[in-house]
Amino acid sequence: MGEEEKKSKLKYKTEVEWGEVGDTFRKVEVKAGEERLFHWDDTAITGIKKAEETAYRFDPMKLRDLVIETEKQREIYDAMAKMFRASPMDVIDHEAYRHGGIQQSKAKREFVEWGRRIALERGIPQYNREVGIPLGQRYIEPVLISGTDILIEHDELNFYNNCAAHQMIDDVKRTVIVGLDVPHRVIQLRLGKEISPESMNLFMETLQHTLSGGAVIQEHMAETHPWLSRDAYAKVMTGNDDLKAQFDRRWVLDPDKEFHPEKAEMLKKGIGDRLFVANHVHTLRGRITDGGSQVRASAIAIVMAFCAAYRLIGESVLSDLAYSAKHAQAFFMGLPTWQSRARPPNEPGGVPWGFVADFCANDAELPPVPFLKAAVDDEAFGKRLTDATIEAAMIHQVFHDSCWYGVYMSGGLGFPSANTILTMGNAFTDWLHRLVELVHTNFQGHERVPDKWDVVKTFIDMAGTYVMETFEKYPTLLEAFWGGALRMGLMSGVGGALAALLTGDSVMGKMGFHYAIANIAKEGWMRTGWGGQETQDHIGPGNLCSLRGEEGGLPELLGPNVPYVSYTVAHNQGFIIYSAMLGRGSAWATSPLIKLTFADPDLVFDFRRPCLMYAKGGLHEFEPAGERDIIRPAR
């Protein structure tokens, strides 16, 4: 290259952009080379200091006055203002040293009082803030639960303090889906008995009795008090309208009643002409024992109901009925985990993430329109779909992050308070709503986003940068999400949801959430959290697209019961699979049976509105099942 050609390549052109001049920002003319490396400095020409690897080009806080009116329109601004009762972008706590320590928190005051009572009653100290971490004079902010206007005490985020969270786990552990085609066929062919609408309804009525601990066949049996088992019941499911009409509607779980008409048709087609029953054993049994006991209780309730309804006694056919109820057509919510953990089925560690996605029924009444088309055609509808994603995030984080990893795996110290990362303070809501606005404005005329990493990566880069900039503009947001694990949960949520919603591909969603943490956040902030956490954030990318057993697998069928996620939160895979379902416009993520079962309005926990249920638990307004008030002394 000659000297003249070099000079031509380095010829300056004039651009107008925002620049820092002294302590203010204003528009200035910048002479910039057409070809420049990462390090470049035109200080002598413009007086503007250029970017380096270790410093952002602009200080977001100095830009605050320029963007404040726009920021005030964001969901996150309003939420932080409510939580901190101060300007969300203010870097100074003007009430410092005047908050009053633990006296500002009703929950903390109550904890101290009960700690004293217990110490006096038993003579051994219990809860005592004086030996805990000193709270000092920081503000103990309440928490706004996304999707609601409800503020709850921060201590109500602890898994043990929220009975709605307990009931969510209980409703999963006590559920078993059993096919009724095989046992009815056994009775018909082996015993020659007639199967009629009358006999099937008698079986279902008897099943309601046996599930609740009622005795059949033998007369002198000790039965369970009905109030203790009041949440035990069963409902039949089928995709055949003629078969459905044969049953008493009181124990029919009808897709046409619970879902949008188009989704109902998709579900019925998925289930087909087969007949299933969703058994919900009573909560108290699971509180005393485990998910394996609930599975066995479901099986014996079915066998005894068949015996009573069809007048069976000790024939060998009973073994076939028992095998059918326990194995042949029995669908458990989770498979057994390894021996050192909760060993039986129907425990949280064995539940695949695809089932967790199907637990959420918030989308039941929405038409099955792919996210991109919905957001392009109707911005409000697109935001409604992202709100459904946030409801699914509540289920995933309480179920796996808080209960499984926080209680079963780690013993429950610390983790249980980090179970609403994606559903507090409207932060995740804000970022997903901005995504919808971006799609609605810029994707007109497009019906799909190519399912290619090079395409999706561009959007995740943009969204990840936006998330980090928001954190740096809002000191209150940094305070609310106080640790690297919490901030990485948000980063992974945005990256994964974005990729899954745009493409409808759950594998792409996995790629998005790992990339957002291990690359974008790591490059921007130099680390993702404490050392152990960095391990879990970086081991995922190597297994993203692997379908080999114990290494990768279809995200819908993968769960925490594999070695490489044995002690990591695996960052939000359940709700990312749900996002992919919304991206495709599907009626279910993994199983139409699971989807229909948990859309049942008679479940104690309302899986249509998980955020509201959790908020009510935080307000002590949620009424759980499994309580023993009826048999204990009044207090």
Q: What single string gives the DSSP state of each residue in 279-334?
A: EE--HHHHHHS-HHHHHHHHHHHHHHHHHHHTT--S-THHHHHHHIIIIITEEESS
Domain total for the chain? 4
**Looking at residue 391, what is its pLDDT?**
96
Cα→Cα distances 397→23, 170, 246, 408, 576, Å: 43, 15, 40, 14, 12
* Dist CA 60 CA 227 (whole Å): 58
Best CA proximity match to 106, nearest among 53, 142, 130, 133: 142
Cα→Cα distances 155→17, 349, 422, 541, Å: 46, 25, 17, 34
Report the CATH number at residue 91. Answer: 3.90.390.10
Do both 308 and 392 map to the same domain?
no
- Using DSSP's 3-state secondary structure scheme, residue 548 falls into coil
**Looking at residue 417, what is its pLDDT?**
65
Using an 8 Å Cβ cutoff, are 434 and 486 in contact?
Answer: no
Q: Which residues pair with 238 in a beta bridge?
A: 275
**Looking at residue 28, what is its pLDDT?**
47
Q: Could you read off the pLDDT of 422-435 as tens digits, one per residue?
A: 899 999 999 999 99
**Looking at residue 58, what is its pLDDT?**
59
Do both 535 and 474 map to the same domain?
yes
Residue listed under structure tokens 């009181």: 250
Q: Structure tokens of 216? A: 């059949």
- Using DSSP's 3-state secondary structure scheme, residue 552 falls into coil
* Dist CA 276 CA 285 (whole Å): 23
**Looking at residue 59, what is its pLDDT?**
67
Q: Which residues pair with 176 in a beta bridge?
A: 279, 332
Q: Answer yes or no: is 127 within a domain.
A: yes
Would you give the end-to-end CA distance of the chain in angstroms? 92
- For residue 383, give the H/E element and its range: helix 379-396
Which of residues 116, 133, 163 is at a domain's end? 163
Do both 260 and 213 map to the same domain?
yes
Report the CATH number at residue 418. Answer: 1.20.840.10
Which of residues 593, 610, 625 is at a domain's end? 593
Q: Answer yes or no: is 601 within a domain.
A: no
Three-state secondary structure readout of 215-269? CCCCCCCCCCCCCCCCCCEEEEEECCHHHHCCCCHHHECCHHHHCCHHHHHHHHH
DSSP single-letter state for residue 145: B
* Dist CA 618 CA 485 (whole Å): 22
Q: Answer yes or no: is 522 within a domain.
A: yes
Report the CATH number at residue 291. Answer: 3.30.70.470
Best CA proximity match to 398, nearest among 579, 622, 569: 569
Under-70 pLDDT residues of the chain: 1-60, 133-136, 314-315, 413-419, 528-542, 549-552, 563-572, 635
Do both 153 and 43 map to the same domain?
no
Q: Answer yes or no: is 510 within a domain.
A: yes
Do both 49 and 72 map to the same domain?
no
Q: Answer yes or no: is 132 within a domain.
A: yes
Do both 404 and 274 map to the same domain?
no
Do both 492 and 405 map to the same domain?
yes
Three-state secondary structure readout of 350-367? HCCHHHHHHHCCCCCCCC
Using an 8 Å Cβ cutoff, are 552 and 577 in contact?
Answer: no
Q: Structure tokens of 27? A: 């528009």
Q: Answer yes or no: is 615 within a domain.
A: no
Residue 107 amino acid letter: A
**85 φψ region: left (φ > 0), alpha (ψ -120 to 50), beta (else):** left
**Looking at residue 352, what is its pLDDT?**
92
**Looking at residue 438, what is its pLDDT?**
92
Which of residues 273, 303, 332 is at a domain's end? 332
Do both 317 and 249 map to the same domain?
yes
Q: Answer yes or no: is 339 within a domain.
A: no
Do both 47 and 82 map to the same domain?
no
Contacts for 394 with CB less than 8 Å, ≥ 6 apart: 420, 422, 423, 610, 611, 614
Number of CB atoms found within 10 A of residue 412's CB: 15
pTM: 0.88
Cα→Cα distances 585→433, 510, 579, Å: 18, 19, 10
Do both 443 and 376 map to the same domain?
yes
Residue 345 amino acid letter: P
Using an 8 Å Cβ cutoff, are 597 and 237 in contact?
Answer: yes
Best CA proximity match to 467, nearest among 508, 517, 505, 511: 517
* Dist CA 321 CA 184 (whole Å): 9
Do both 186 and 307 map to the same domain?
yes
Q: Answer yes or no: is 606 within a domain.
A: no
* Cα 272 to the center of its chain, rounded Å: 29
Tell me the residue range of the domain where 217 lies.
175-332
* Dist CA 464 CA 405 (whole Å): 26
Do both 122 and 197 map to the same domain?
no
**Looking at residue 35, what is its pLDDT?**
41
Best CA proximity match to 454, nearest among 511, 376, 496: 511
* Cα 55 to the center of its chain, rounded Å: 35
